[in-house]
Amino acid sequence: MAEMPAIDFLDWVYPPICALCGCGLSQGKALCESCSGDMPRIAVPFCDVCGEHFLGQIDGAFECPNCNGLSFHFEFARAAMDRSDGISELIHRLKYGREIHLAGDLGRLACGAFSSDRRLGVALEERWPLVPVPLHRLRQMDRQFNQAEEISRAIALETSLPVLSMLKRVRRTETQTRLSRRQRLENLKGAFAIRKRWGMKKTVAPRGVILVDDVFTTGSTVNECAKVLRKAGVGRVAVLTVMRG
């Protein structure tokens, strides 16, 4: 009698169909090759600071008008995907629909930035740890997970980089959605801190880290996180997100 083919455990837990088009899938993935391939990857030219894609011809490095003349606590931010209905839907369903299985594909999509940006290639070679942007404990209790941490774990599976939860959110802030950049920066002051074990003198801070979040919009959140990390002794901070908002 012929042996029955093995079925991936995730295929039992989640419907084995593409999260966007509904075609059949297997092996625990949430996106088919066609939908994944159609996602708008950010490629050159893009802002060297915030990673915003520029439509046009630019030779060499450049800073966009939003970043020109400003100083940040992170060295650069790199989003793998440009904003689109598909990627926005996946992130929304992960965060608010609690479809945690989508973090795997979002993490794989984010990993595309490693091969298209030499600066992240250096971080990969030097094995910088992945540091997820934290949620406040009350929000995490309500959501039951942290989307940045789930995405970080997915990236770790693809890259073998360690995940370090170095940060905690010590103050619950109002939603950033309707705030200006200046208001966001003010809203986040003092919202993050280093976890106790990383504040101890015997714990040596990494010389570089990759700060991970789902979306980069104005950069106010990751900038405040980077400020805390640098103050704790981290030499260099790069930012990696799935989408550029």
Using one digit for the tens of pLDDT, what is the confidence trace for 105-134?
Answer: 999 999 999 998 999 999 999 999 999 999
What is the C-alpha to C-alpha distance for residues 85 and 178, in angstroms, rounded to an integer? 20
Residue 180 pLDDT > 90: no
Q: Which domain holds residue 61?
A: 39-82+112-244
CA dist., res. 115 & res. 158, Å (int): 12
229, two tokens: 């990390």
| Distance between CA atoms of residues 206 and 237, nearest Å | 10
Residue 94 lies inside a defined structural domain of this protein = no
On whether residue 162 sits in a domain, the answer given is yes
DSSP letters for 136-154: BHHHHHHHSS-HHHHHHHH
Asked whether residue 129 is assigned to any structural domain, the reply reads yes
Which amino acid would we find at residue 164?
A: L
Q: Does 90 fall in a domain?
A: no
Domain-embedded: residue 155: yes
The answer on pLDDT for 10 being more than 60 is: no
69 within a domain of the structure (yes/no): yes
- The 10 Å Cβ neighbour count of residue 69 is 7
Tell the residue number behind the tokens 């999260």, with chain if given.
19
Q: Does 176 fall in a domain?
A: yes
Alpha-carbon distances of 221 from 43, 97, 186, 188, rounded to whole Å: 24, 23, 11, 7
Whether residue 5 has pLDDT greater than 50: no
Cβ contact 112:80 at 8 Å: yes
What pLDDT, in 10s, does the model give residues 19-73? 999 998 876 789 999 999 999 999 989 999 999 998 878 877 789 998 988 899 9
Kind plus residue range of the DSSP H or E element containing 38: helix 33-38
Question: What angle separates helix 102-110 from helix 85-96, to the nearest 10 degrees?
Answer: 130
Q: What are phi and psi of 208, to 5 degrees?
A: -155, 145
Name the domain count of the chain.
Answer: 1
Residue 154 in any domain: the answer is yes
Residue 14 DSSP SS3: coil
Q: Which residue has the tokens 């970043």?
A: 67
Q: What is the DSSP string of 198-237?
A: HHSTTSPPPSEEEEEEEEESSSHHHHHHHHHHHHTT--EE
Owner of token pair 């940040």: 72
pLDDT at 177 over 70: no
pLDDT tens, position by position, 79-98: 999 999 999 999 999 999 99
What pLDDT is attached to residue 8?
56
Better-predicted residue by pLDDT, 49 or 189:
49
**What is the number of helices (H) and of strands (E) in the chain?**
11, 6
DSSP state letter for 19: T
Percent of the chain at pLDDT > 70 equals 87
Distance CA 148, CA 166 (A): 13
- Which is higher by pLDDT, 10 or 222? 222
